[in-house]
Structure 1
Amino acid sequence: MSATQRFHEVANDALVMISEQLWPGAKLCLAIYTEGEPGLDIVLKDQGINLDEVLSTLRRAGLSIDGGNAYKRDLCDLIAGALALGKQNRNTPPEGHWAQRFWDIGRAEGEFQEELVSALKGVVKVADRETDEFDAARSAIAKATT
């Protein structure tokens, strides 16, 4: 039997003993990590455990959104992507997906930009003058539409 298998057996036995002493409704989760070596991570948990509740428990114990971790980076990347795709009116999230609200924010910004560019084009077309103000409007239109 490997050292890893033996550890799992010992840890499991210990968790069973601890679980028997918990109050009704309490759940147990054990996370073991070696910093910089995610391949060695071990998570042992009771059956039926809600990992969202584990995360909430860690947050109450001081886990901060300000820490640098892969979960937060992935979450922020997804939000930024949903905003960008919404602005471009592409790749709507699946029905009921939590990223929909960020896609909707991006879409609203895209629609606002389209309306603003359209209005600026109309103003420049009507005025059709060579002034600094209209040059700035032309520049803004070019920037928003490229």
Structure 2
Amino acid sequence: MSATSRFHEVANDALVKISNNLWPEAKLALVIYTPGEPGKDIVLKDQGIVLDEVISTLRRGGLSIDGDNAYKRDLLDATVGAMAMGVQNNNPPPTGHWGQRFWDIGRAERALTEELVEVLKGVQKRCEGMGYVGVDGQYLKVVQAAIAKANH
């Protein structure tokens, strides 16, 4: 038997003994890691454990949202992606998905941009209708540049 297999066996036996002495609804998890070597990670957990509850417990124990880890990077990438999809009115999340909130934020931001563009187009038409374009057409150029920027 390899040293790793023997460790798993001993750790599992120890966790069973500890678990037998916990209150009935309590769950137990053991995490062993070697910094920079994820291949050596070991996660042992009770049956029926809810990993979201483990994260919440670690948060109460000092886990910070300010730290750097792959889970948070992935979550934030997904959040930014949901907002970007909302801006593009593309690929909405399934009903009830947590990303809907961020997709909706993207949609709302796009709606504000579209509203701004319409206002600027109205300003442009009024300026043109009144023959007011500013010195060397500068005023009109500023409005046109603002419309172009808002559309990106």
TM-score norm. by structure 2 comes to 0.91
SS at match of 1:43: strand
Corresponding residue of 2:53: 53
Partner of 2:30, secondary structure, is strand
CA–CA separation in structure 2 for the residues paired with 1:7 and 1:124: 74
Deviation of 1:138 (Å): 1.2
Looking at structure 2, the residues matched to 16 and 53 of structure 1 have their Cα atoms a distance apart, in angstroms, of: 20
* Correspondence list, 1:1-146, <5 A: 1-128=1-128, 129-131=132-134, 132-146=138-152
For 1:75-98, what per-residue CA distance to the aligned partner results, in whole angstroms no more than 9, with x for missing partners?
Answer: 111111111110111110111110
- Render the CA deviation track for 1:23-78: whole Å, top value 9, x for unaligned: 22111000111111111111100000111111111001100000001111111111
Q: Structure 1 stretches of 5 or more lacking a match?
A: none
Q: Do 2:86 and 2:104's aligned partners in 1 also have CA atoms closer than 8 Å?
A: yes
Q: C-alpha separation between the residues in 2 aligned to 1:22 and 1:9?
A: 20
Give the stretch that moved more between structures: 135-144 or 40-49.
135-144
Distance 1:60 1:25 in 2: 19
CA distance in 2, matches of 1:124, 1:22: 73
Counterpart CA distance in 2 for 1:38 and 1:137 is 54
Secondary structure in structure 1 of the residue aligned to 2:31: strand
Partner Cα distance (1:42, 1:133) in 2:
65
Letter in 2 for 1:145: N
Normalised to the residue count of structure 1, the TM-score between the two structures is 0.94
Count of residue pairs the alignment pairs up: 146
- SS for the counterpart of 2:145 is helix
Percent of pairs with identical residues: 68
**Greater CA drift, 21-30 or 122-131:** 122-131
Local SS of the residue matching 1:142:
helix
Structure 2: unaligned runs, 5 residues or longer: none
Superposition CA RMSD, Å: 1.2
Matched residue SS, 2:26? coil
Tell me by how many angstroms 1:125 deviates: 1.7
